[in-house]
Amino acid sequence: MRKALRAYEVRLHSNLPGILSIQPLVIAIGKEAPVLRPITPPPSTRAQGTAEIPEDESIEVALAAAGDSRAFERLYRRHVGRVHSLLRRMVGSDEADEATQDAFVRAWRAIGSFRGDSAFGTWVHRIAVNVALASRRGKITNRQRFLDDEDFLNHHPDRPDRSSERLDFEAALSTLPHGAREVLVLHDVEGFRHEEIAELLDISSGTSKSQLHRARMAIRKVLNA
């Protein structure tokens, strides 16, 4: 029973089927991105239904690849919500607009290498994840991003982000140290597995797990406060 329920939850939750096996993306993001290697095939549950199975966008993609910016605008309009929501959670409201634009500009430049073996939405979403991670890289070291136990407890949270009306969960999220926030968003919101997160963030799976736990506990505390 629990297993079945779990599988159901995973399906509901996962709309990034097979994201790590998308080879064209490696080309898409070039040198600015971490080297992405397929790690393990995702569980089949992840490839299954989502409420928003994209309609066939191959025509728009082909037109955009041929230089039709209006076709690309249609793709943008269809996918900007998910991209922006992800980036707002990963990098914060202040930087989310610019990061979203960066992600779509990168997608435009790379769309010729997109082969359609995944949904366009999945592909552009992955680009957005890399934009989010790149925006942190260089600014701040992993040592600072991933606070150990003691530092985590002493971390003075940023002021909750009050720019949105939704002050609850997203505000709590914005108070987390960056590394913990990234892990929580990738795992609990986006449905990535620890092995994938470890690869993306250049940390161990164990660190990913412990950061996730701390992040959840901290959010719970903020929400209960």
Q: How far is the CB of 161 from other proteins (least distance, A)?
A: 13
CA distances from 83 to 76, 107, 127, 141 (A): 9, 12, 9, 25
181 contributes a contact to other proteins by CB under 8 A:
no
Binding flags for other proteins, 24-63, as an x/- string (CB under 8 A): ----------------------------------------
152 contributes a contact to other proteins by CB under 8 A:
no
Cβ-based nearer residue to other proteins, 34 or 65: 65
The amino acid that residue 99 corresponds to is A
Binding flags for other proteins, 80-119, as an x/- string (CB under 8 A): xxx-xx--xx------xx--xx--xx--xx--x-------
The rounded distance, in Å, linking the Cα atoms of 28 and 11 is: 28
175 contributes a contact to other proteins by CB under 8 A:
no
148 contributes a contact to other proteins by CB under 8 A:
no
Q: How far is the CB of 209 from other proteins (least distance, A)?
A: 6
* SS3 sequence of 15-77: CCCCHHHCCHHHHHHHHHCCCCCCCCCCCHHHHCCCCCCCCCCHHHHHHHHCCCHHHHHHHHH
The rounded distance, in Å, linking the Cα atoms of 111 and 115 is: 8
